[in-house]
Chain A
Amino acid sequence: MIKSILIFNNHGKPRLIRFYQFFPEDMQQQIIRETFHLVSKRDDNVCNFLEGGSLIGGSDYKLIYRHYATLYFVFCVDSCESELGILDLIQVFVETLDKCFENVCELDLIFHMDKVHYILQQVVMGGMVLETNMNEIVAQVENQNRLEKSEGGLSAAPARAVSAVKNMNLPEIPRNINIGDINIKVPNLSPFV
């Protein structure tokens, strides 16, 4: 079982959190902080498994993470999952994000947290791996986006126009914020599975 999935950036700012076991909000934040603390001090060339982190799990649990550009993708899993399998799953997930957002970067995750959630929902459900085939995942995501479009979407045309006007009034447009617009260069990793 996967107990939680956390995505945060190099500064520990959460970009997506998904707990498959209930924790109150303050506890969630504490877990993120602690996990960030554990993960961030590790070099990129050390192994991607971490034991400990008193908040999450017992000895049965492990943190398995990958670091892409500005983001950490951390999965907390128990011994029922294959460690290498989960590493591959993270890669599949990131590659899927890359496909869906076309050269994904941290900003995509910042502004479209909901969409990232919807993509994740096609990969993991209730803490169990649902699909590992990227084409299948992308197909389902696109089908659902199409369905949403046919309904007019959440922010229909007028609102979008207003939003654009509001953008112009802003002193700085988001792309200027230099944090996180680096593309997550998804490396071509040789899969373990």
Chain B
Amino acid sequence: MALKMVKGSIDRMFDKNLQDLVRGIRNHKEDEAKFISACIDEIKHELKQDNIAVKANAVCKLTYLQMLGYDVSWAAFNIIEVMSSSKFTFKRIGYLAASQCFHEGTDVIMLTTNQIRKDLSSPNQYDTGVALTGLSCFVTPDLARDLANDIMTLMSHTKPYIRKKAVLIMYKVFLKYPESLRPAFPRLKEKLEDPDPGVQSAAVNVICELARRNPKNYLSLAPLFFKLMTSSTNNWVLIKIIKLFGALTPLEPRLGKKLIEPLTNLIHSTSAMSLLYECVNTVIAVLISLSSGMPNHSASIQLCVQKLRILIEDSDQNLKYLGLLAMSKILKTHPKSVQSHKDLILQCLDDKDESIRLRALDLLYGMVSKKNLMEIVKKLMIHVDKAEGTTYRDELLTKIIDICSQSNYQYITNFEWYISILVELTRLEGTRHGHLIASQMLDVAIRVKAIRSFAVSQMAMLLDNAHLLAGNTQRNGICEVLYAAAWICGEFSEHLEEPMQTLEAVLRPKVTTLPGHIQAVYVQNAVKLFATVLARQEGAGDRQAAQETTELLIEKLPQFVQSSDLEVQERASCILQLIKYIQKLQAKEVSVSEEVSALFSGELNPVAPKAQKKVPIPDGLDLDSWINKPLRETESEDEKPRAIFHEEEPQHSRPRLPEIDEKELAKRREVRKQEQASNPFYIKSSPSPQKCYQETANVDHIPVVQIDLTVPLKVPGMPMSDQYVKLEEDRRQKQKQDKKKDKKKKKEKEKKRGKGRRLDSAHTESEEDIAPAQSVDIMTEEMPENALPSDEDDKDPNDPYRALDIDLDKPLVDSDKLPVRTHRPTEGLKSPDPMMGVEEQGEKKSSKKIKKDKERKKSKEEKKKKKHRKSASGKEVEEEGQVEKPAPPAAESESTAPPAAPPTEDSDLDFWLSSASVPSQSQPELVDPAPSSEPEEPKDEEEREESKSSKHKKKKHRKEKEEKSKKKKKQHQDEGAAESVQNGTLEEEEEPLPPMSNYSLLAENSDIKMVCDIQGNLQDGSQVVVSVIFENKGSSFLKSMEFNVMDSLNTKLVRPEGASVHDGIAVPFQLPPGVSNEARFVFTVQSIIMPQKLKGTLTFIVKTEDGSSHEKLDFKLLFTCTSYLITTPCYSDAFAKLLESGELKMNCLKLEGITMPFHHLLAKICFHHHFSVVERIDSCSSMYSRSIQGHHVCLLVKTGDKSVSIDAKCDEPTLLSNVLDEIKLTFAVTC
């Protein structure tokens, strides 16, 4: 053995360590790959050694190789071996390697669970730290589930070093295992106030990450963060919190109002640029959220803009960049304040830094107006010429187009100018955005009718000079514009002055080098041009020329027929046949032009991109049914079946069947038009006055506004957009002068508004004053009626953060528990089983949690009570204790009572938001809910309530409103729409429930009153807990209380070890006068199917001034069957399965004369009898509960006219009938 060891270490001497490996690689520059593969072989050999140091060394080298791009996942198992070494040195190497190369797909990762758990609980903090760091990089859903509880324990570790790591890693755990969020959240919240700033910062960090994805769930933390913000001095924490507020404020404008002041203070006071910047950012977010609210924050905007200007003017490029970035956010809501800094932003366009230029470009988008559009675009065009590097130039190009086309060409006053800009842009070489320019050309030409003739002349020029554009065709994206050019020239060929020239350009042999789809358009439009040419020539009586034109086509078209592109080939051969036919006709001296033109008559209307999707499915049209069957039905309606399909097609593609003769076509068109007119489903082009396929003659009747041209249409040579700038200026000047002349007659003028404003601001020319150069009619795109352009379903369903959208304000329920290591096999996640065996540690924790939660809950409950009390005009003062008490059971059987919980949480926030003076008062953790302080508390709270209502009338008003709506609700009660209730969470807006209590009177005399509640024990199937509240009613001091019962065979009081069955249990407190307190006693039960009564006695000493006396009080403790039931949530799928299983016995119950609302009824059953609602549909609901011994109890509650029927099923008939009796009793008492 020793020999082996020695041999091992001698071997090791010749191993390379990391430094040797690096050195070796650097010395083998020529054959690096070869050297490394040799090294990997060595490493493989080393990994086979027993010596852990050798293995660790090998793994360390692998980590280096991984960085160089080598896949080392084959060594995953060895990495785990090194991770599990007991030495920190090796462990650290192992975890580092794992964090670099493990991921969810690594199969051996599941072997690490126990090792990591061991390391997490290691006494050495650095072992724990290393494990946490590693885990943060490769945590999987399985690891997260298995280790969540261990990590949660570490959040309370004594060392802050571990605490902060544990807090941070929780975020990763939440991501992978969303179910852990609710149970872990209270502790995470606690960490916000950790004494160590590092831990605090980590907790802020995690909550900010969470809140950024689902901000609405974290609104209730706003008061806490507000406190942190005003108290913290750590800028890192402040930045995070301020960023978080930026995310929260859009959801709650009132929060913004509260924030403005402290943020403004910070902006003025801080010297840290990062903090200043984030403050400005959040103020902007606030202002955006408030934009509709208060008018009086122009000061804040000014402050922001002014600070941002300082940033932008700073010599530090980073600040400049961020300043511009933030500026663009202001731009969206307050463009005016940004526009005044136009000079600065234009200056940034000249910056040497591309990032800054791009940011400035973004800003320009929002800064253009009718007035300055030309100027800005001119600047940009200069930049386009100067720009080196295609990326930036392409960016400029898209920006120019974006800027011009924004909001439906809102800012363009002269479309000729725009067309020339587009044409100029085509001169860019190697741009990727040819298609963008092309689509703009098409869009403008189609939608702006007035511009067509100009557009056509420009496009004809482009086609003529196509060789310039399509220099090296295929890879050059700019040739896409030829697509647009050809189409425009063809479609609007009537505007062409020299159609013949264009036709020739289109048929040039060079065209065949263009991409297929462009050629196809060329071919198609050649025929349109041909039709126009023919019409003109025949119109001029020049038959000879017409025939020559036909010749030309017949001569040129074959080059397309031979095209390798199918589309081109098809169109070309089709058209060739048509032309040949025409030639035949021409030979017979028949005039054909009219019929050829008829092929392309009619208008094409722009269709909105989503129009097709938005066409509503007509009533009665079932897209899923067989097509053939309805066909027969339509036949019976005397409609031609053909009409369904054939006739609709030409809407999308023009008729290009030359075989069908023209008359027939015209006839069909007529028929179709009639059909469409009478067909209610046909999409009418509501915005534009004309319809598709109107006869040419009709087009003339369309009221298109006459073009008022102040610029000459014909621009010689390639167009120069600059000319337009000059012309535009002249034109505006002229307009101004005209206006001045007309000033006296202004009342008759239409543009009164513009005038009025002119007088106000003498210098600035307001937008309205600039009349467009052409009166243009921009057609809107067609959309089906009533369809709104929207972007629905843009959310990614696979967003991992969606799973974290969890309501955190809802109190924790039994199912909200982190899985703890257990010996029993865990069940599937679908139906969590709260009876699952829990280890001691977890148990302690969860009970602690429940307790804490209970406290919170209680304070809430109290608050809620106050409201009720208020409306009931304090008649319950007598029963104070009684009313206050139901909180604990409500907390324990969480899911029964929550209807009131969420609103109260909300009102906490409301209160905070509305009260400027006492921000921390209503924070959820009202501690010290000890019942001993109860008598004072109500008074205190009443006072608070009073001050609240007097100070904040708003609140009161709201309450009144609530009451009003309550009344309304009552009227509508019976119209119960399909409200579904899950696990007892009733719909918020329903009528609030009356206060409920499960405490029943046990016994009472002049000294003391006892009320009790009995609950099954979750963890033990044979135990129930009896909570007894003792209230001192007299004026003397009560002490030495002893609680005793006579055990029965079935039910026994659990006494301390060594006590005899006749001994009582001492109550662990004394009661001063007027005070009440609660004690708990545990009983064991064997059979739970029958109710039980136990006789008992309470003995106590009454201490008065003149001495003390022994007293006793007898009572009877009733164990109802209900008390053996435990509220257990049940999923509807599991519920259905349960009912189907057939093992349950049936019973039923009918209650008469029930007048209470159905949801009250359900809530009562839930609350008093520990059921949970599985599903609720209208006036019918299924409910579930489970006994401590695992009996399933299912109810189906139906409500009719003043009666309620309950069908019940249970695997134990006796238990069931007893439970039903008890339910009956409950309602007999209350009704």
Please list the residues of chain A having a beta carbon within 8 angstroms of any beta carbon in chain B. Answer: 1, 14, 16-18, 20, 22, 24-26, 28-29, 42-43, 45-51, 80, 82-85, 87-88, 110-111, 113-114, 117-118, 121, 125-133, 136, 140, 143-144, 147-148, 151-156, 158-159, 162-163, 166, 170-172, 174, 177, 191-193
For this complex, 5 residue pairs linking A to B, each with C-beta atoms less than 8 Å apart, are A14-B68, A17-B67, A22-B103, A155-B17, A159-B12
Cβ distance B572 to chain A, nearest Cβ, rounded Å: 40
The 0/1 profile, CB within 8 Å of A marked 1, for residues 50-81 of chain B is: 00010011001001101111110000000000
Which residue on A lies nearest to B125, using beta carbons? A143
Contacts of A151 in B (CB 8 A): 87-89
Q: How far is the CA of A182 from the CA of B1095 in the complex (A)?
A: 90
**A144 and B88 contact, Cβ closer than 8 Å, known pairs A22-B104, A46-B352, A82-B239:** yes
A61 to B87, CA, bound (A): 39
Kindly state the separation between the CA atoms of A49 and B358 in the bound complex, as whole angstroms.
12
**A42 neighbours in B (Cβ, 8 Å):** 353
How many angstroms from the CA of A166 to the CA of B15 in the assembled complex? 11
Pairs of residues from A and B, 5 with the lowest C-beta to C-beta distance, nearest first: A126-B136, A84-B274, A47-B317, A22-B103, A46-B353
CA distance A187 to B561 in the complex (A): 71
B69 near A29 with CB under 8 A, answer: yes
Contact check, A159 vs B96: say whether CB atoms are below 8 A apart: no
Report whether A114 and B243 are in contact in the complex, using a CB–CB cutoff of 8 Å.
Answer: no
**A128 contacts B205, C-beta separation under 8 Å:** yes
Instruction: Answer whether residue B981 sits at the interface, using C-beta atoms and an 8 A cutoff.
Output: no
**Within the assembled complex, what's the spacing in Å between the Cα atoms of A163 and B57?**
14
**Which residues of chain A have C-beta atoms less than 8 A from B87's C-beta?**
151
Chain A residues contacting B130 (CB-CB under 8 Å) are 121
Closest chain B residue to A78 by CB distance? B212
B contacts with A: majority SS: helix
- Whether A47 pairs with B356 at a CB distance below 8 angstroms is yes
Question: If the complex has contacts A83-B322, A125-B136, are A159 and B64 also in contact, measured as CB distance less than 8 A?
Answer: no
Chain B contacts to A: CB under 8 angstroms: 9, 12-15, 17-20, 22-23, 26-27, 53, 56-57, 60, 63-64, 66-71, 87-90, 92-93, 96, 100, 103-104, 124, 126, 130, 132-133, 136-137, 161, 164-165, 168-169, 171-172, 198, 201-202, 205-206, 208-209, 212, 235-236, 239-240, 243, 272-275, 277-278, 317-318, 320-322, 352-356, 358
CA distance A151 to B86 in the complex (A): 11
Task: Tell me which residues across on chain A come within 8 A of B243, comparing CB atoms.
Answer: 80, 82
Residues of A within 8 A of B239 (CB): 82, 85, 193
In chain A, what residue has the closest Cβ to B212? A80
**A193 in contact with B235 (CB, 8 Å):** yes
Known: A128-B205, A147-B88, A170-B27. A83 touches B318 (CB 8 A): yes
Which of B69, B205, B212 contacts A25, CB < 8 Å?
B69
A82 to B90, CA, bound (A): 36
Docked CA distance A154–B103 (Å): 26
Distance (Å) between the CB of B104 and the closest chain A CB?
A: 7
* Pair A154/B56 contact, Cβ less than 8 Å: yes
Q: Separation in Å of the A191 CB from the closest CB of chain B?
A: 7
- The reply to whether B208 and A80 form a contact with Cβ atoms under 8 Å apart is yes
Q: Are A48 and B198 in contact (CB under 8 A)?
A: no
Q: Are A191 and B71 in contact (CB under 8 A)?
A: no
CB-CB under 8 A for A113 and B69, given A154-B17, A192-B273: no
CA distance A172 to B415 in the complex (A): 72
A1, closest chain B residue (CB): B209
Whether B353 lies near A158 (C-beta < 8 A) is no
A162 proximity list for chain B (CB < 8 A): 13-14
Q: In the assembly, what is the distance between CA of A193 and CA of B66, in Å?
A: 35
Complex alpha-carbon distance, A154 and B82, angstroms: 12
Bound form: Cα–Cα A119–B322 in Å: 30
Which A residues are CB-close (under 8 A) to B161?
Answer: 140
The complex places the Cα of A193 from the Cα of B278 at a distance, in Å, of 11
Tell me which of A24, A159, A170 has the highest count of chain B C-beta atoms within 10 A of its own C-beta.
A159
Cβ contact of B63, chosen from A25, A28, A113, A129, cutoff 8 A:
A113
Contact between chains at A113 and B64 (CB < 8 Å): yes
CB neighbours (8 Å) of A127 from chain B are 136
Contact of A130 among B23, B89, B165 (CB under 8 A): B165
Q: Are B69 and A26 in contact (CB under 8 A)?
A: yes
How close is A108's CB to chain B, nearest CB, in angstroms? 11
Q: How far is the CB of A164 from chain B (nearest CB, A)?
A: 11
Neighbouring A residues of B318 by C-beta, 8 Å: 47-49, 83-84, 87
Q: Which one of A17, A29, A82, A147 contacts B126 once the chains associate, using CB atoms below 8 Å? A: A147
A172 to B19, Cβ gap below 8 A? Answer: no
Contact B133 A121 (CB under 8 A): yes
Q: Beyond A14-B68, A159-B12, is A82–B277 a contact (Cβ under 8 Å)?
A: yes
Chain A residues closer than 8 Å to B172, beta-carbon distance: 126
Take A84-B273, A125-B133 as given contacts and tell me if A130 and B202 are in contact as well, using a CB distance cutoff of 8 Å: yes
B126 touches A172 (CB 8 A): no
Verify B88–A126 contact, CB threshold 8 A. no
CB distance from A136 to the nearest CB of B (A): 7
With both chains docked as a complex, state the minimum distance between the C-beta of A165 and any C-beta of chain B, in angstroms.
9
> Which residues of B have CB within 8 Å of A129?
201, 205, 236
Residues of B within 8 A of A143 (CB): 126
Knowing A113-B18, A154-B53 are in contact, say whether A85-B236 is a contact too (CB < 8 A).
Answer: yes
Q: Separation in Å of the A7 CB from the closest CB of chain B?
A: 10
In the bound complex, CA of A152 to CA of B136 (Å)? 28
Chain B residues closer than 8 Å to A193, beta-carbon distance: 235-236, 239, 272, 274-275
Would you call B13 and A159 a contact (CB within 8 A)?
A: yes
Contact call B168/A125, Cβ cutoff below 8 A = yes
Output the least CB separation between B15 and chain A (Å): 7
Residue from A14, A118, A126, A158 within 8 A of B169 (CB atoms): A126
Contact among A140, A152, A192 with B272 in the assembled complex (CB-CB below 8 Å) = A192
Residues of A within 8 A of B27 (CB): 170-172
Partner of B277, one of A84, A140, A159: A84
Known contacts A46-B352, A49-B318; is-contact A153 B66 (Cβ 8 Å): no
**Interface residue from B209, B236, B277 paired with A80 (Cβ < 8 Å):** B209
For B391, the closest partner residue in chain A by CB is: A52
Contact B69 A131 (CB under 8 A): no
Using CB atoms, name the residue of chain B closest to A29: B69
A47 & B202 in contact (Cβ 8 Å cutoff): no
CB pair B20 A163 closer than 8 Å: yes
Contacts of A82 in B (CB 8 A): 239-240, 243, 274, 277-278
Residues of A within 8 Å of B96, CB to CB, are: 114, 117-118, 121
Known: A126-B136, A130-B165, A192-B272. A47 touches B208 (CB 8 A): no
> Across the interface, do B9 and A158 meet the contact criterion of CB distance under 8 Å?
yes
Residue on A nearest B15 in the bound complex, by CB:
A159
Max chain B Cβ within 10 angstroms of own Cβ: one of A1, A43, A154: A154
- How far is A113 from B67 in the complex, measured between Cα atoms in Å? 10
Closest to A117 in B: B96
B20 to chain A: which residues have CB within 8 Å? 163, 166
Least CB distance from B202 to A in Å reads 7
A177 to B, closest residue via Cβ = B26
Query: A125 touches which one: B57, B132, B354 (CB < 8 A)?
Result: B132
Name A13's closest neighbour in chain B (CB-CB). B68
On chain A, the residues within 8 Å of B126 by CB distance are 143-144, 147
Q: Which residues of A contact B53 (CB under 8 A)?
A: 154, 156
Instruction: Flag if B19 contacts A163 (CB, 8 Å).
Output: yes
Chain B min CB distance to A13 (Å): 9
CB distance from A78 to the nearest CB of B (A): 9
A16 CB → nearest B CB, Å: 7
Docked Cα-Cα span, A86 to B392, in Å, equals 26
**CB contact between A49 and one of B66, B92, B165, B355 (< 8 Å): that residue:** B355
Query: What's the minimum C-beta distance from A33 to chain B, rounded to whole angstroms?
Result: 10
Q: Name 18 extra pairs, CB < 8 A, besides A43-B353, A83-B274, A126-B136.
A: A25-B71, A45-B317, A49-B355, A51-B355, A82-B278, A84-B273, A85-B239, A113-B64, A113-B67, A114-B18, A118-B96, A121-B96, A125-B133, A130-B202, A147-B126, A154-B57, A154-B89, A192-B273
* Residue numbers in A under 8 Å from B354 (CB-CB): 46
Q: How far is the CB of A5 from chain B (nearest CB, A)?
A: 12
Q: Establish whether residues B274 and A174, one from each chain, have CB atoms under 8 Å apart when the complex forms.
A: no
